[in-house]
Amino acid sequence: MEKNVVIVSGLAKGIDAAAHKAAIAAGGRTIAVLGTPLDRVYPQQNTQLQDDIIRHHLAISQYEVGSTVTPSNFVLRNRTIALISDASIIVQAGESSGSLSQGWEALRLGRPLFIWKPIFELSLIWPKEMVKFGAITLSDPNDVLENLPSAESVLTIRL
């Protein structure tokens, strides 16, 4: 909250839910971008968290109430997260993780993409590939703030 950063994540189990919960616990703000319509919850274990975000923060979905949920919804959700975020951070992801679609979209958009340094210690191909296209190795979370636009720079750009 002290840095006035809004956490945007997909409300998936694991690191997504942890990011939302940490933002809420710190008195900050969070946006959940859903891969389901607003009236559906996935995964079910996040029912209470989704309800809290809908009531006190912001949950958005590009899917109409009652529409069918397919695996491709979650890839599009990840791209939407990249579109509305100033920067993306990948903290954990295997070779087939949906987070990679968000990472590639962030790079395509020219937005900062950070990859948590311990990921490079694993035998994964994608981190090195993303670095070739501009991703940044993240050792200290404070480094993210140096790469975000400040309110002053946004106002200057808009003037």
Q: Smallest Cα–Cα separation from 57: which of 86, 18, 29, 23?
A: 29
The CATH number of 1-85, from 3.40.50.450, 3.40.50.1820, 3.90.1310.10, 3.40.1260.20, is 3.40.50.450
AA identity, residue 87: A
- Whether residue 33 contacts residue 76, with contact meaning beta carbons closer than 8 Å, is answered with no
- Whether residue 88 contacts residue 19, with contact meaning beta carbons closer than 8 Å, is answered with no
pTM: 0.88
Per-residue pLDDT of the chain (159 residues; tens, 9 = 90+): 467 889 999 999 999 999 999 999 999 999 999 999 999 999 999 999 999 999 999 999 999 999 999 999 999 999 999 999 999 999 999 999 989 999 999 999 999 999 999 999 999 999 999 999 999 999 998 888 887 776 555 444 444
Distance CA(89)–CA(158), nearest Å, equals 26
